[in-house]
Structure 1
């Protein structure tokens, strides 16, 4: 078990290269799971995110300290300890948060250490869950967690959600703000659904986060647009045998690898 101490003692638990990457991950997570939290739990979640800013994605404040900060901010109309604890359980179950217990050096239980996970960890967790079931992606839970799943064909996503959830999908105007407008405009004539567009962009984000400080954002965006157009051509020509997301992801990787290999060497030396 970890020994309780200052936040500096736990900075190596951070899974993010920058606060920007951490904030983007939280935005992507909430775009998919905001509805899973009550209003009070959402307030608690966002406050924990703020407490995790010094070392991106890591916090070690006591629950009482965080709850007190919330209530002071909202003039006593904040959240209870039980609400905060419910939020922690949900966040952990959804995979965005890991919790490590600590012990005091002189004995007794210490504070918890809260560690936020990256989007790729969430994606692997969903795929592992899907693969461990005899009938993957057909249960209600799997449909509720459809976004980000690469095992469901995009061509049938709207119909499947309408049949199982009986609700109208949000169109492209509801797409999360982390997706570039140019990419949205390129995709919506074919898939005018926010969740579908976000699924595609998550693949782009995961494949480029390691080089995002080297490659210009516009280059990534327009490479993704080019890859999507090629994926659509492949779909119309019958080359997409299983999954459009996989086809798009593979095409984007090839195009991005080509772009990456053509970057001037001085860019790499400048970042080391």
Structure 2
């Protein structure tokens, strides 16, 4: 890959816009923040800031990034930056592309952030959905907290789904309570839908409900098939985002076909 202006690498961006990039970074940090040292986090956050002009893409030199940290009063070494990059690549947060100058000599790298994918961490977080709970693709109102692998261990202080805020659609509440009979979990899952569709002015409440139901069913199906999930909210966020991304791409294709005709 030839070295060049940041605009040359726009095609490498994995995100619709800066907001989309920031949303994915927030979810990555839920899973990965504890895996970086304090100095490495300083380096990572600086790289994120330098990846704003083209959402999720940066082609600044490491020394430029290190100097920027120093200017902000956060002194770190080049080796800290390189250690952060190795970890970020290992976790799937970053892809690093090498570039070359016109004379063939190596130039600075291009750093491309990746869309969020939930990290598989703990076997104890698996939900076991028994076959007896299924009826023609739907689910009975069985309380799955009785299974050994339920992610939320119930106790006397947990308030059930009947305490869910009335802003959450009843149909979504009734589906989720089959697996997580806890009002806080239900409300947090619905909050994911609200945040992800906040700027989609064309989305009706019915559209949000259908998105929420489809995403939750996909999450349960994936976990039933063996996917181990450390953070159900982060994983749910990723599923919702993927569905919206596909919808966005399909809309572009329809607009193109309409224009072409």
Q: Deviations over 1:209-247 (max 9, x none)?
A: 9xx747438555444555689x6xxx9xxx9x94699xx
**Displaced runs of 4+ in structure 1, greater than 4 A?**
158-162, 185-189, 191-194, 212-215, 217-221, 224-229
Whichever structure has more helix as a proportion of its residues is: 1
In 1, Cα distance between the equivalents of 2:19 and 2:64?
Answer: 25
User: Shift in Å at residue 201 of structure 1?
Assistant: 8.0
Cα 1:144–1:41 shift into 2, 3 Å: farther
CA distance in 2, matches of 1:27, 1:217: 26
Aligned residues of 1:143 and 1:161 also touching (Cα < 8 A): no
Asked if the contact 2:43–2:84 (Cα under 8 Å) also holds between the matched residues in 1, the reply is: yes
**For the Cα contact (< 8 Å) 1:3–1:102, is it kept in 2?**
yes
The residue that corresponds to 1:96 in the other structure is: 93
Give the CA deviation at 1:24.
0.6
Q: 1:190 aligns with which of 165, 173, 181?
A: 181
TM-score by length of structure 1 reads 0.55
Partner of 2:56: 57
Secondary structure of 2:122's counterpart equals helix
Runs of 5+ unmatched residues, structure 1: 127-140, 163-170, 172-180, 261-267
TM-score, normalised to structure 2, is 0.57
Structure 2: gaps (5+ residues): 130-143, 152-157, 159-166, 228-235, 248-254
Distance verdict in 2 for CA 1:97–1:193, change over 3 Å: farther
Alignment partner, residue 177 of structure 1: none
Q: Which residue of 1 aligns with 2:9?
A: 10
Aligned residues: 199
Query: 1:115-194 maps to which residues of 2 (within 5 A)?
Result: 115-119=112-116, 122=117, 142-143=121-122, 152-153=127-128, 155=144, 182=168, 186=173, 190-191=181-182
Deviations 1:127-170 (A, max 9, x none): xxxxxxxxxxxxxx741896xxxx754857x96699xxxxxxxx
Is the 1:4–1:102 Cα contact (8 Å) retained in structure 2? Answer: yes
RMSD after superposition: 4.9
**Which residue of the partner structure matches residue 43 of structure 1?**
42
SS in 2 for 1:15: coil
